[in-house]
Chains A and B, each alone.
Chain A
């Protein structure tokens, strides 16, 4: 994939990879870029352009993943981006898949029991997925923000007792993979759906599931390979854990 740079027009970045549209939206940038460059738009929105470039270049590009560079950015910036991504899943992508599923049930023959089975499985996946997001938002991210505050030079002396008993080690252990269920759902729709059903809607659902999978893959990579190591380093230097 073409490497995106600061002087490139934002519109061209989208032409190069349209899957970036929701990623860019997460930064609060909406369509209608005109001739503006990535750099222009980032400064308009007060976004760190290097961070923005690292995120969009790493998106879905397994071979280009500047871990060492991403690890130099502030954890606050990273957490903010991760939270925005959660919001996108919860408020946009999952509801859109849900609507399509409702539509599928509506438009297909009532006699087709298999669709209800699929819907039930999706509901299970959604429940698990949302629980995952919520856990990170209520425990992991606030913890990371606290660590960051303590890490700031002036505040280093602040008592450590307020901190909840949590660590990156725990995060690592509990950071389960939710993508297996998603994979199964996709595969079952592709291989085993049967009876009377609306093929166009079903295809659209599969399309959205692939998109979700790709986005989640990128998201988890940032959590596992960027957030965890940076915060673990901070824990070490704050002597929260034995080095």
Chain B
């Protein structure tokens, strides 16, 4: 769904943009929702995974927008047919709040890729190996040497560990490893 993802709303209608923003925060759990009142060329660089656009902005910049690989949702004021969840998706802003939430849910679900299936996955054996070394006080470079993997791979393991466990700091990871018996207090340097 939308959990942890960034959203950008581009609409000259601030009231509409703020309304959408508060619905997103209330019902879904986006990371950050930014609002821009007009189209600007830095859109490309924006981190948002979803970009909501007012229909006039979409029409005026259709060509440029086609190059953008992010998921687009166009804010309209009319009823759409069933196919309107494809990219770009359409959202009829004249609907009631309940209907809006339902439609948004459908849009987000349709676009939830495979990557989301492993959100609750447990740590892999390799990740546990990396975690134990982090908890014992080794730095990335040492871990790469010990496991004979590249520094880049170590970092990507660490990123996944943090994502899966929701623990950001080294001492937090150490605490996790201790609590789960992966290391003993005497192992901590």
Residues of A within 8 A of B171 (CB): 121, 124, 181, 184
Q: Is the CB of B168 within 8 A of A192?
A: no
Q: Interface range on chain B: under 10, 10 to 19, 20 to 34, or 35 or more?
A: 10 to 19
Q: Is the CB of A192 within 8 A of B180?
A: yes
Does A108 reach chain B (CB closer than 8 Å)? no
Q: Is the CB of B179 within 8 A of A193?
A: yes
Q: Is the CB of A184 within 8 A of B179?
A: no
Complex Cα distance A187/B169, Å?
Answer: 12
Does A100 reach chain B (CB closer than 8 Å)? no
Closest CB of chain A to B69's CB: distance in Å? Answer: 29
Q: Is the CB of B172 within 8 A of A185?
A: yes
Q: Is the CB of A188 within 8 A of B169?
A: no
Does A118 reach chain B (CB closer than 8 Å)? yes
Q: Is the CB of A192 within 8 A of B179?
A: yes
Q: Interface range on chain A: under 10, 10 to 19, 20 to 34, or 35 or more?
A: 10 to 19
Q: Is the CB of A114 within 8 A of B179?
A: yes
A171-187 Cβ-contact flags toward B at 8 Å (1 or 0)? 00000000011011101
Does B155 reach chain A (CB closer than 8 Å)? no
Residues of A within 8 A of B185 (CB): 117
Complex Cα distance A185/B175, Å?
Answer: 9
Closest CB of chain A to B168's CB: distance in Å? Answer: 5
Complex Cα distance A117/B185, Å?
Answer: 9
Closest CB of chain B to A208's CB: distance in Å? Answer: 18
Residues of A within 8 A of B166 (CB): 187, 191
List A25-43 residues whose CB lies under 8 Å from chain B: none
A-side residues, CB < 8 A to B, are: 114, 117-118, 120-121, 124, 180-181, 183-185, 187-188, 191-194
B-side residues, CB < 8 A to A, are: 165-169, 171-172, 175-176, 178-180, 185
- What 4 new A-B contacts, CB under 8 Å, besides A188-B176, A191-B165? A117-B185, A121-B175, A181-B172, A187-B167
